[in-house]
Structure 1
Amino acid sequence: MNFDFTETLRQIPFLRLVIPLILGILVKLNLHFQIPIIVLSSIILLFLLILIIFSSFKKLFSNYKTRWLFGMFFNLLLFSTGIFLVDINYSKVSKVSINQTDGYLLASVVEKPEIKDKSIKATLEIKAIGDKDQWIETSGKVLIYFQKDSASKSINFGDKILFKPDISEKRITGNPNEFNFEKYLTYHLISDQTYLKSTSWKKINEKETGLKLYAYEIRDKFLNIFKKYGISGNEYSVLSALTVGYTSELDSKIKHSYSSSGATHILSVSGLHVGIIFIVFNYLLMFMEKIKYGKLIKAIFLILFLWFYALLTGLSPSVLRSAAMLSFVIVGQSLKRQTNIYNSITASAFVLIIINPFIITDLGFQLSYLALISIIYFQPIIYNWFYIKNKWLDKIWVLISVSIAAQIVSTPISLFYFHQFPNYFLLTNIIVVPLSTVIIYLALILLAFSSFDFIANYLGIALKYSVRILNNTISSIEGLPHSVSENIYISGFQMFLIYFFIIIITSYFLLKRNSMLKLSFITIILFLISIFYNNYNSLKQRKLIVYNISGTTAINFIDGKDNILISNLSKNENSSNLIFTTKSNWLELGLTKEKIVDINSLNRNSLFSNNLTVDNKNLLIKDRYLGFYKHRLLIINKDFKLKKYTKKLKVDFIFLTSNNPIKISDLAECYEMKKIIIDSSNSMNNIKKWKTDCQKYNIACNVVSENGAFIENL
């Protein structure tokens, strides 16, 4: 049977809509050009008018030679719409001008507050700005970190907060290849962030109302039911995430265990959960099919239940995808129309992107759609590799085939973002997927019988031990030898090549064209060339990087594959933050091993104590003076004492760290320097004083906390 590509595309019309729309969004997000909204709106209306005129002339529309013009203008319309949607959402982010007032701000809490170690994190929607004797209505989201106390712990979704604006701009660290928090906030329509002390805010008696608040109140009732019937600790945090998407109480150890074993998807409400809700309510509403217009009424109720559950779980991208896709399927079934699964998938994506174009940047959205498409296409092919007669072994093989299929398309993007691969993902999914399904059903039954204490107590015990078994299983798999392959780096170009190879090799088996096979070999060659090119550049690199991490000294010398970091890491409470900040950059530069030197071990009159582990012939260190190739450097830490010489010493860079009370005037007397680097371990008062003195003595100065990480190719 020959594969008809044109006929397949005809059955997936939404695919032809979503591709130019996404391209328009991506072009706007990456090129950052500006087109006035009026001009852009006029262009869209012009394309729309051309399409209407084109459609009015049947001869022109049906003529094969001119029909391509309709397709071109239609794609341009969608492409322009993508750009327009991004501009509209950017305007929402920049709408709040709260830095321009000294008055109070009135805002409401729009997401469940998250309890941190030293603060309470909450997202607020600004309602009005107090200016003199009047309130000016406005809108926009801000991220607030409240000082942790009894008052801030009582903040809940829907509360209205009055606070004094002390909004800081989104902090740009400038650290190479670090997670871009500024973009993250923008893509979540958040314009500003700040920290509020207990005296800077108060909660007023008014409270927001609406469907979302009602859904969150129901979610809190469900969570309280879990607590009432003896579920606590890690069992409670995992169950809350598994059933209603409440992840605030998951600790880092649990998250790491699930990630290393390949079960992270269990901790987020996804298609599995929405599917179970659909199955349960579809069964409960079967009786409606016997009455007049029953199928239509049933479809309406099913869609309402699905979207209320999506609202209940916080509207995560995977839930949105599942709810939107199932909604299209339900509508198709109620109208007795056969639906193409790929068209339902792309239709759901199209609707979600129209509502929020920034959703395409969400990793959950990307993984959700890629994994689903991969499962739908590849799972039947993999399943047919073997025929298994035994019923239970066949079910296990189904799980294995689904797991393999999901990994085919989701692995490249996972490696790109997370740089690791769970080696026992098959073992994990064979155990975890059935067990998590049982847990979801048990949770639903417990919620249904929560008014009957006698039954609910036993259900609570069963549920608690089921979740405990799940956690212990995950922990055991994580503890197996070589459970995870770490420090895997692929570039964006290499990820593109892998996906291109998957598409080409799949096309070869569908179309049986040798040209596809040849193209796949070319793709492999390009991939190998890119690896060779990256390794070649790694061997030639010679860099000096001073990272911008609050309260931390992090001076990085990179010489080919040799990676030396001088830091206050060993005694600094931000050590995990330091490794998190530097790791992605090291992987991109081809560095898998680091040599860390404690800045306080740079003793006078000797090489630093661990010089044997930091053996590099091009980096010489003695008495806080460093020689790196032809460059001379001086690190001034807290114990440094200035020694005057008969003539000025020449140095390229002087690093001021750890709030040493040294004066710039004294440095100017003793050293002939090109630049002073003030790192982020210093206080704001010292930084301000040093900056002023540098200007006074006409010395080039770089403040890392203000300008971002200092990077020098030597």
Structure 2
Amino acid sequence: MKIFTNNPALKLLIIIILGIIIGNNYDVNDAILLYIIILAVIISFIFVLFKKIFPAYLILGLTIGFCISAQLNQLSFNTPNKIIPTSSALLEGRIVKTLKKTSYSYRCIVEGKVDHKALPLIKNTNVILNIKGLNKNPIELFAGNDIACPVKIRLPHKAVLPTEINEEQYAASIDVQWIADASAKKISIIRRHNDINFYRELVVSEIERKIDLLFSEKNFGIILALLTGDQTRVPQTLRRDFSLTGTTHVLSVSGLHVGVIAAVLFILLGFVRMKWLKLVFFTILVSAFVVMTGMQPPAIRAGIMAVIALLINTTQRRVSAINVIALSIILVIIFSPNLIYSMGFQMSAAAMLGIAFLYHPFRKALLNLIKLDNKVSNYIISSIAITFSASIIVSPIVAYYFKVFSIISPIANIFIIPLYSIAMIFALMAVGLSYISTWLGLAYASSTDFLIALSVWLNKFLLKIPLSSLEGNITILFSVLISIGLIYALLSNSRKQLLFRLGISVCVCYMSLALYNGTTDKREIKIYPRENYVAAFVPISENKTFILLSDRKPAQYPSRDYSMERLLLENPDSLVIGYTGNVGINITDKLKYRRSIQHFPVSLDLQIKIEKVLNIETHLP
């Protein structure tokens, strides 16, 4: 095909993906992998000698994919599909990244060794460490600190509830193998190192101080996320509102923000006449921004893509956007294979490939549909084509992870993306100029606050539109059908064909959803196993559900289950909750002040009756 002939990087990316899929079915050690690489290089060299380029290309691509797959297999644990409780261990290592910091807790990634009494000493492993009690035992913790402490450690869990993230996938995406909890009073700081992570946190702390000084309190979390990549201060309600309109990517450092920074840097470096010197400065500054914002996967992809684009411009070669995107993806997955598991990287790569493949056909279809030819209409049509190209590919991924499908997303992105792009530039100028003049900084900060307030108002207005978004498991099917239908319609060659295909797509979507709803029983009993208890959701009537919270073992001070609390708060049914122990009491106490529920302790006699009705051979836990 012509598209593969003109885009060798795309062809290589597809071959590498095929190699990853093949390698995923085999578990090989380092020695065998080395033999495979040597053999592949020899065979490829022989093919090149006989001028058989494609077979050599194919073998090398498959070998690269096989090597990436081998690295991915080393990152994953083959754990049984059971809930493995926490256990005691000793952790010693270096803090390499701060994930979240508050006055009472500190979450970070520690690289070091785990000494578990039931396992041999585990070296060179990464752990997400949650340190609590800093308000009672204040200690200064930074990236670069070597620490030692006793911990309660466990493997990452799979997602059980609809309201919780898949810890396994998240941990794999950041190359983490364990999750641990520790008390602040038991942390020992062995030594402090002033490495790149330490200096990054110093810069971030200074930026945070400036943001606190210049911007309004309600926008503090958003500005911090835009400039440093720290999303922990963004209010959960705001993040949810933006996710329902498909614009949540503007609240974090994504490929969009790196693109804006790259464009600004390119303009600012216009005075540098030597092209190669400009490339060097550009690469250093873009890399510094990516590092400062926490090396977010979309930012890494966008940074590599920006540098490749300028390199091509410097060498004055004509290369398609598809080639640039494919090459940037290849470089990312070769040097950081774990980012394949990152949903941020997946969505970023999918959005860029969608724009590269679909923008021009979509723009042509929209021009056929809307017979206008002026600057305003062309800008609007181009904006719609870009947002549709990205949203169509990304929406099934979003629906898979978040069970949300935003119908209003293309329209929302047209308005909100420009507002946040300008707000980000103004925020950077406010922080930078504040070192020259506080009044100049405050002037740009006020403009930034206005733009963010306008975007939040606009987002809430769009949410009021009926059927602006859908939630639940059905969104996966709906998003796939809508995406296929829109691609089918917008690849039309004429206005009549476009309208006909739109009609066909609507009919197919409607019939498929009707069939899905007719074969799905929404009122089924659901069992959710948790570490300390089991939750059973039993429908009583159309709008009423009985929930049994049964403790696995006595727990005097059970930890909170925020995911379960959120699931119960969002449940639209009238809830009747029965509990057998302290875990259930704890969950009920947190709920009864936030929503109307009926609750009661389940007596031993009632537990026995439930066992008989459900034909349970062993006693309820």
Q: Flag whether TM exceeds 0.5 (same fold).
A: yes
Deviation at 1:484, TM superposition (A): 3.6
Counterpart pick for 1:538 among 509, 517, 520: 520
Deviation at 1:564, TM superposition (A): 3.9
Q: What residue in structure 1 maps to residue 107 of structure 2? A: 121
* Structure 1 CA distance for aligned equivalents of residues 282 and 315 of structure 2: 14
Contact 2:22 2:66 in 1 (8 A): no
Counterpart pick for 1:482 among 456, 466, 491: 466
Deviation at 1:343, TM superposition (A): 0.3
Letter in 2 for 1:20: I
Deviation at 1:147, TM superposition (A): 1.4
Q: What residue in structure 2 maps to residue 677 of structure 1? A: 620
Residue aligned with 1:677, SS: coil
Q: Is the aligned partner of 1:252 residue 2:236?
A: yes
Q: What residue in structure 2 maps to residue 145 of structure 1? A: 130
Contact 1:105 1:128 in 2 (8 A): yes
Contact 1:113 1:157 in 2 (8 A): no
Distance 1:218 1:561, change over 3 A: same
Question: Greater CA deviation, 257-266 or 553-562?
Answer: 553-562
Q: Is the aligned partner of 1:355 residue 2:335?
A: yes
Contact 1:557 1:564 in 2 (8 A): yes
Q: Is the aligned partner of 1:13 residue 2:8?
A: yes
Instruction: Encode CA deviations 1:298-355: one digit per residue, 9 max, x unaligned.
Output: 1111111111111111111211111111111111111121121100000000000111
Q: What residue in structure 2 maps to residue 598 of structure 1? A: 577
Question: Greater CA deviation, 310-319 or 353-362?
Answer: 353-362
Counterpart pick for 1:55 among 48, 68, 80: 48
Instruction: Encode CA deviations 1:237-290: one digit per residue, 9 max, x unaligned.
Output: 11111233221211212212222233212112223322222222222222221x
* Structure 2 CA distance for aligned equivalents of residues 673 and 51 of structure 1: 62
Deviation at 1:452, TM superposition (A): 2.5
Distance 1:169 1:432, change over 3 A: closer
* Structure 1 CA distance for aligned equivalents of residues 466 and 164 of structure 2: 27
Q: What residue in structure 1 maps to residue 586 of structure 2? A: none
Contact 2:427 2:448 in 1 (8 A): no
Instruction: Encode CA deviations 1:80-105: one digit per residue, 9 max, x unaligned.
Output: 233223235459x9xxxxx9x99954
Counterpart pick for 1:156 among 124, 127, 142: 142
What's the RMSD between the two structures over aligned residues?
Answer: 4.5
* Structure 1 CA distance for aligned equivalents of residues 559 and 114 of structure 2: 39
Contact 2:147 2:187 in 1 (8 A): yes
Distance 1:74 1:104, change over 3 A: closer
Residue aligned with 2:520, SS: helix
* Structure 2 CA distance for aligned equivalents of residues 526 and 481 of structure 1: 24
Residue aligned with 2:142, SS: coil
Contact 2:489 2:505 in 1 (8 A): no
Counterpart pick for 1:167 among 153, 158, 161: 153
Deviation at 1:650, TM superposition (A): 10
1:246-395 equivalence runs, <5 A: 246-289=230-273, 294-384=274-364, 385=367, 386=370, 391-392=375-376, 394-395=378-379
Contact 1:303 1:330 in 2 (8 A): no
* Structure 2 CA distance for aligned equivalents of residues 499 and 484 of structure 1: 16
Instruction: Encode CA deviations 1:613-642: one digit per residue, 9 max, x unaligned.
Output: xxxxxxxxxxxxxxxxxxxxxxx9735254
* Structure 2 CA distance for aligned equivalents of residues 16 and 446 of structure 1: 44
Residue aligned with 1:50, SS: helix
Q: What residue in structure 2 maps to residue 548 of structure 1? A: 529
Instruction: Encode CA deviations 1:472-495: one digit per residue, 9 max, x unaligned.
Output: 424632652436422353587887
Question: Greater CA deviation, 148-157 or 183-192?
Answer: 148-157
Contact 2:151 2:181 in 1 (8 A): no
Letter in 1 for 2:535: A
Q: Is the aligned partner of 1:443 residue 2:427?
A: yes
Q: Is the aligned partner of 1:557 residue 2:538?
A: yes
Q: Is the aligned partner of 1:80 residue 2:62?
A: no
Contact 2:149 2:187 in 1 (8 A): yes
Distance 1:552 1:119, change over 3 A: farther
1:574-653 equivalence runs, <5 A: 577-578=563-564, 594=573, 596-599=575-578, 638=601, 640=603, 642=605, 651-652=611-612
* Structure 2 CA distance for aligned equivalents of residues 536 and 191 of structure 1: 42
* Structure 1 CA distance for aligned equivalents of residues 616 and 2 of structure 2: 71
Q: What residue in structure 2 maps to residue 210 of structure 1? A: 195
Residue aligned with 1:301, SS: helix
1:85-104 equivalence runs, <5 A: 85-90=71-76
* Structure 2 CA distance for aligned equivalents of residues 416 and 643 of structure 1: 39
Report the number of matched residues: 579
* Structure 1 CA distance for aligned equivalents of residues 343 and 394 of structure 2: 11
* Structure 1 CA distance for aligned equivalents of residues 397 and 480 of structure 2: 9
Q: What residue in structure 2 maps to residue 22 of structure 1? A: 17
Residue aligned with 2:272, SS: helix
Distance 1:566 1:388, change over 3 A: same
Q: Which has the larger radius of gyration?
A: 1
Question: Greater CA deviation, 254-263 or 361-370?
Answer: 254-263
Distance 1:255 1:493, change over 3 A: closer
Contact 2:545 2:575 in 1 (8 A): yes
Letter in 1 for 2:201: Y
* Structure 2 CA distance for aligned equivalents of residues 398 and 598 of structure 1: 53
Counterpart pick for 2:28 among 23, 32, 35: 35
Distance 1:428 1:522, change over 3 A: closer
Contact 1:653 1:676 in 2 (8 A): no
Contact 2:526 2:536 in 1 (8 A): yes
TM-score by length of 2: 0.78
* Structure 2 CA distance for aligned equivalents of residues 583 and 345 of structure 1: 42
Deviation at 1:390, TM superposition (A): 5.6
Letter in 2 for 1:546: I
Distance 1:397 1:357, change over 3 A: same
Instruction: Encode CA deviations 1:520-578: one digit per residue, 9 max, x unaligned.
Output: 99999998897677556534x99644312466662123699998442469xx9968622
Deviation at 1:44, TM superposition (A): 3.1
TM-score by length of 1: 0.69
Distance 1:203 1:251, change over 3 A: farther
Letter in 1 for 2:110: L
Contact 1:538 1:561 in 2 (8 A): no
Contact 1:538 1:560 in 2 (8 A): no
Residue aligned with 1:121, SS: strand
Distance 1:559 1:342, change over 3 A: farther
Letter in 2 for 1:183: Q
Deviation at 1:438, TM superposition (A): 2.2
Residue aligned with 2:153, SS: coil
Distance 1:172 1:376, change over 3 A: closer
Counterpart pick for 1:455 among 424, 439, 448: 439
Distance 1:211 1:432, change over 3 A: same
* Structure 1 CA distance for aligned equivalents of residues 412 and 606 of structure 2: 62
Deviation at 1:127, TM superposition (A): 6.3
Letter in 2 for 1:198: A
- Deviating above 6 A after TM superposition, structure 1's stretches of 4 or more consecutive aligned residues are 127-131, 491-508, 519-530, 558-563, 572-576
Letter in 2 for 1:242: L
Residue aligned with 2:177, SS: strand
